Amino acid sequence: MAKRRRFTPQFKAEVVIEALMGQSSQAELCRRHNLSIKIIEILSDKNTVLII
């Protein structure tokens, strides 16, 4: 069984900021960071309040 990946708070913030800036689509972010769209949605929901 594969180990769960752990993301640092800095990595999470970088991904959320990229998603909020809108310069890249979610699909491009997923490919660049090797993530699923669901993970980006979860990170955005949890971290948007912290960034704003």
Q: Does residue 49 register a pLDDT over 70?
A: no
* Helix 26-33 with 37-51: angle, nearest 10 deg: 100
Identify residue 6 by its one-letter amino acid code: R
Query: Does any domain span residue 32?
Result: yes
* pLDDT at residue 30, rounded to an integer: 92
**Domain count within the chain:** 1
- Please state the pTM of the whole predicted model: 0.70
Residue 13 lies in a domain: yes
Strand, coil or helix: 26? helix
- Asked if the structure places residue 18 within a domain, the reply is yes
In a domain, 23, yes or no: yes
Q: Is residue 21 situated within a structural domain?
A: yes
Q: Which residue has the tokens 């990170």?
A: 43
Residue 22 lies in a domain: yes
- Answer whether residue 39 is part of any domain: yes
Give residue 13's domain range.
9-51
Q: Assess if residue 1 is contained within a domain.
A: no
Non-local (6+) Cβ contacts of 15 within 8 A are 29, 33, 35, 40, 43
Q: Give residue-wise pLDDT tens across range 2-47.
A: 788 888 989 988 888 888 888 888 899 999 999 998 888 888 777 6
Instruction: Give the residue among 24, 50, 52 at the shortest CA–CA distance from 12.
Output: 50
